[in-house]
Amino acid sequence: MGLPAAEVERFRDDLGSVWPDRIEDGAARLGIAVSGGPDSLALLLLAHAALPGRVEAATVDHALRAESAAEAAEVARVCGDLGIPHAILAVKVAPGNVQAEARAARYAALSEWAAARGIAALATAHHADDQAETLLMRLNRASGVAGLAGTRGRGRVPGGELPLLRPVLGWRRSALGDVVEAAGLVAVQDPSNANDRFDRVRIRKALAEADWLDVAAIAQSAAHIAEADAALDWMAALEWRSCVKKEPMGLKYRPQAPRAVVLRVVARIVRELDGEEARGGAVARLVDGLSAGQPASIGNLVARPNAGGWSFAKAPVRAARRER
């Protein structure tokens, strides 16, 4: 299963850009989340070639499809042939939003596995086509900067401190498929990837038909928006330190920044006082009301304009109105 040296070197450079502190550490092991699809299978092959003896893999079986157990077993077989330690992590997906609950269960299981195995970071196979599809879907929903921001190359596994790496963000889906084909492997094809009921599938097909669109350029735009999103977060932190003060009953905010920053500060106020995230639209309506000099409520909080600023406090129990 030898891979072209140029591709392995490209991957190693990409991995080094998101894992510069550990890539040369011969003791640091990299965990790969492998579903058996072409993207994650290509990531596994590239990582194994770039970091021989330093890669482990895990496949999460959500048990949402009858084929999932056999697909996980096939990944285990491939890993066995490559000499890569592999684990199958069976999870139960809670009722509700299936995709969100599956994601939460998946990352919880992967975090526990990584901790038990002493793995230094987890890598997933998000790529340029994923970035472009997500940006277009969210543009179609009138998302703000935070929603349009592309996935970053490095983050944290939700709910923990384990580094989450995405070293193939600059790779096209077709290039990753070529890696798998060159290795003589047959990847799993998830039938949901062809189901027009999903927005992402429709966007994917539209992109494939519009050959005048540059997917790599769209993905790069998502990365630029992510940088703008990070800059707004930085500005919101400055605004918080200088303009938000504690009051006996809550917090007082004297807005000084542009609206995009104010929205983030108010969202943080709601989160800190009420303990829950508010929807962006609810925060925007709250800010608009306060800017017009009108008292408003959100969740269990009431907000009132006074003396050049806005005061936020817990509402009396009977007056609390939840808008999320």
- Map the chain to HEC letters: CCCCHHHHHHHHHHHHHHCCCCCCCCCCCEEEECCCCHHHHHHHHHHHHHCCCCEEEEEEECCCCCCHHHHHHHHHHHHHHHCCCEEEEECCCCCCCHHHHHHHHHHHHHHHHHHHHCCCEEECCCCHHHHHHHHHHHHCCCCCHHHHCCCCCEEECCCCCCEEECCCCCCCHHHHHHHHHHCCCCCCCCHHHHCCCCHHHHHHHHHHHCCCCCHHHHHHHHHHHHHHHHHHHHHHHHHHHHHEEEECCEEEECCCCCHHHHHHHHHHHHHHHHCCCCCHHHHHHHHHHHHCCCCEEECCEEEEEECCEEEEEECCHHHCCCCC
More confident residue, 324 or 112: 112
pLDDT score at 99: 83
- Tell me the mean pLDDT in the region 109-124: 97
Domains annotated on the chain, with CATH: 5-220 (3.40.50.620), 248-319 (no CATH)
Tell me the pLDDT band of 1, cut-offs 50, 70 and 90: low
pLDDT score at 35: 94
For 95-105, the pLDDT digits (tens) are 888 888 999 99
What does pTM read for this prediction?
A: 0.85
Does 324 score more than 60 pLDDT?
no
